[in-house]
Each structure stands twice: as structure tokens, then as C-alpha cells.
Amino acid sequence: MSETTRILVVDGSEVSRTIISRSLNDQLDDADITVCANAAEANQQLQQAEFDLITTSLMLPDIDGLELCRQIRGSDKHRFTPLIVISGDADGRLLREGFAAGVTDYYDKSRGYSGFAQFIKRFTHRQSRLEGHALYVEDSATAAAVNGQMMQRHGLRITQVESAEGAFELLKECLPGGPRYRDPFDIVITDFFLKGSMTGGDLLHAIRTRFNLSQQEMPVLVITGSTSDERQVEVFHAGANDFVSKPIVEEILMARLRSLLLIKQQFSALRRQAEKLHHLAITDMLTGVRNKRYLLDNGEDFLNNQRNQPLWAMLLDIDHFKQINDTLGHITGDRVLEALGTLLLQSFPKDSMVVRFGGEEFAVLIPNCSREEAVARAETLRLAVERLRPVDIEITASIGICSTLDHPDQSLSKFLSLADKALYEAKSRGRNQCCIYTQQGIEAITLSVNTPPTLDARGGTS
């Protein structure tokens, strides 16, 4: 469905039209209701505008309601628009003749108009326009144009290519880190027989084995000119979810696509839920940074990864934080921690690991960082904490840092303990300062600059 659902209500009773339109407006979001008293008015509206749903009573003043349905089904614009008949005689003539007239569903008005809006709400949810991005592989320009326009008319976004090789390259761009990663395909529609060295079957095999995309993660609908049992078996063995036969019947194609897109949507919803649960499991909910469990599970590999070298550990502790909790309360203390977490996330690029180490202490693992940049970042962060003033409270922080440049081949526990010793030294020297643990021992950090460095967008200094 479009964002605004356009509904045409056809009923000979003014009272019924008023009740129906009022009920739909009250219970449907963004509904645009047009009412007509007879079939002549309805046909005039249908010529002037396009509707997402049409309801009609079985008996109209000028013609039979089923005859109106037949006329609508004979038009190009509303050939596939859902048609709901409102009737008190659902067990009789409507059930015998409704299907042939193109009726999609009916509502028994003996149930009362109060439930009609909920009926329509459920119906529109089931019958919504196709939503998604399809990769359409077709080497016939004529078939691609006709079928592509057909699918776009039903709401599907189409990217069409002529060969399996071209489709393979586009799918490769959808993998993590690729240029299409943020705009992937929801479904692949491919002819089974294609020109070129790769067939549709080869593309299917690549999707399932090379890209490791399951039938739920990437549904594939195959278009084939053969309906033989052997061909169907071949199509399914290649990894297709479903197939349609040539010549394409629009209703069948849309039904197959709607079913496969629902599978994709359900898979995506489950994956988002799993990602959300994973995020909750590894995130400190108060500050928004990673939690200690994440550090323990991933820190060792992060430290030993050669691509992260040289790597720096930074430990930061809020000075006199216990006094804040004791005098101003833990809620105020939480606001201070929350503000500091936000500052840390803004101060370091995403390839750094920012962790709440415990209480008011935070740890940061900074990859690919020179000594000069690490020292500048530590001092810049200390000055930023001074300026932070969360909930109008003056706070300062002490910081200790160390590096694999000075202390290679250390375990995560030992490496962090060296930064902790530098932090302890910063506190013993009077707090609100930074210390570094070098090969020669612990030294205070001083920057001989006229103006304090400031954080750039990536957390570097300028």
C-alpha cells in the first residue's frame, strides 16, 4: 500500500456510507475515503483516480453490485485492486457468483459496522502492495520491459540485468563492505536459461554456495518455459524457492512474489531482533559503550590482531566520583556517567573499542595509533572532560595509557594492568592529569602547545 490508503466506498444507503466512512477514518491511519451512492458515480471516480481498495454493497440503486465488480475487473487501472463486498447474504448468491465476478473478499454486515474497520485494517495488511528491491535477470529486452513494468506497477523496485554474470557482480556488491551493502536486494527473479557462460542455474548455485545466502535470506523465483517434472526438479535442486512458467500470468507472478517477499520480511525481522538482543548483551545500557563482558570476550583477539598495531590502551577514571554519589545522589552520578559515555563515543572512531570497565572507570583500545597521536588524544580527552560539566557539575578525570610499542606480546590482563598503573600514578600525582607507562617507566604527559588540541570528527587532534 502507499503511505495514504485510498478507499472507494460504494453504497446506496446514505446512513451506511456515513457510518462506514466515519469508522474507517477513525481507525485507519492515513486513509483517504471517497464515497459513492451508485455504480455510475463509482465508475466516474475510478476513471479519474486510482484506489488501493474498493468496497461495495451487493445491492446498488442502478446495477447489481457483482456487475460493478465485473466492470472494475475489466478495466486496466483497477484490474487487480482488491474488491470487498458488504452483504447480509454471504451464504447465498455471493458465494456462488462472487469468485467469477472478481470479488476478493466479503464482509457480513450482520456482524455490525463497528467491526468493519478492523476487518479492512487486517485485510489491507494482508493485501498490501509489494514492497522490496528485486534483482531481475532477463536477457530478452521485450520480456524485461513488459515484466519489469508489471512488477513496478505493483510497487516492486526493479534492477534489471541481462546476464547471470552481471547479476553475480551486483550480488557481490551487496556483501558486507560492498557499495550496495546498505541497499541490498530482497529477491532475485531470473530466467533459468540465459545467454552467456553462466545459466540461471549457475547463478542459483552461486547464491546458495558462493554467497551462502539461504532461501529465507535471499528468495529466488525462477522463470522457465518448461513445466515438465524433470525441469521442476532441476529448478528446485538448484536452490530456487519457487518458479513460474511462461507465458507469465500476472496474478500468478504477483502471488508468488508476495509469498516470497513475506518470507524475506519475516527473516529480516527475526535477524533484526537477534541483532538487537546481541546489542543489548554487549552494551552498557547506562552509558551506551561496550560492557566488560564484551571486552573479556573480544579484547584478546583485538590486542593480538596485527592489523591493529600499534595498539594503545587508555584507562580513564572520574576523580572523586564517590563524593558525587554520596552528596548529590546516585541518579546524578548516573547522569555524569551517561554524559561521559556519550563523550567517549564521540571522541573515538568506530574501530576503537570503548568499554565501561567498572563503576566510574572506562577503558579504550585504540588501534593503528602513533605515540604522538595517542598522547595528544589522552590530553585532549582530559581537557574535554573538564569542559563537559554534566548536570552543571564540575568533573575531572585521570587517565593512564600504554602501548604495544613499549610492551609487546602481553596478555590482555597484563596490558590493561600497565595502563591501570599509569592511571594510579596520575591520581597519586594530584589527579586531573595523564600518565604513560613507557619502557623506561611511568611518565606524566605534558604537551608543549600554546592552545589545547581539540577533537576532530574522527577523534583525532587538530
Catalytic residue check, 360: yes
- Mode of pairing for the β-strands spanning 5-10 and 31-36: parallel
Instruction: Tell me the pLDDT of the chain (462 aa) as tens digits.
Output: 446 789 999 999 999 899 988 888 888 877 899 999 999 999 999 999 989 889 999 889 999 889 999 999 888 888 778 888 888 765 556 666 776 788 877 888 777 777 888 888 777 766 666 889 999 999 999 999 999 999 998 889 999 999 999 999 999 999 888 899 888 999 999 998 888 899 999 999 999 999 999 999 999 999 988 778 888 888 898 899 999 999 899 888 998 998 898 788 878 877 887 788 888 899 999 999 999 999 999 999 999 999 999 999 999 999 999 999 999 999 999 999 999 999 999 999 899 999 999 899 999 999 999 999 999 999 999 999 999 999 999 999 999 999 999 999 999 999 999 999 999 999 999 999 999 999 999 999 876 544 444 334 333 443
Return the pLDDT at 462: 36
Q: Which residue type sits at 359?
A: G
Which SS3 state, helix, strand or coil, does residue 438 take?
Answer: strand
Return the pLDDT at 449: 43
CB 142 within 8 A of CB 149: no
Q: Which of 138, 360, 361, 425 is catalytic?
A: 360
Return the pLDDT at 125: 64
- Whether pTM exceeds 0.85: no
Measured CA to CA, the distance from residue 117 to residue 219 in angstroms comes to: 33
CB 375 within 8 A of CB 406: no
CB 356 within 8 A of CB 287: yes
CB 338 within 8 A of CB 362: no
What lies within 8 Å, CB to CB, of 287 at 6+ separation is 337, 338, 340, 341, 342, 344, 356, 362
Return the pLDDT at 251: 86
Measured CA to CA, the distance from residue 45 to residue 24 in angstroms comes to: 19
b/e 306-345 (16+ beta carbons within 10 angstroms → b): eebebbbbbbbbbbebeebbeeeeeeebebbbbbbbebbb
Return the pLDDT at 461: 40
What lies within 8 Å, CB to CB, of 311 at 6+ separation is 302, 303, 365, 366, 367, 368, 369, 403, 404
Return the pLDDT at 269: 76
C-alpha distances in Å from residue 194, one per residue of 197, 236, 248? 9, 17, 17
Task: Give the rounded distance of the alpha carbon of 448 from its chain centre.
Answer: 47
Which SS3 state, helix, strand or coil, does residue 104 take?
Answer: coil
**Which domains occur in the chain, in start order?**
5-126 (3.40.50.2300), 133-278 (3.40.50.2300), 292-444 (3.30.70.270)
Return the pLDDT at 445: 87
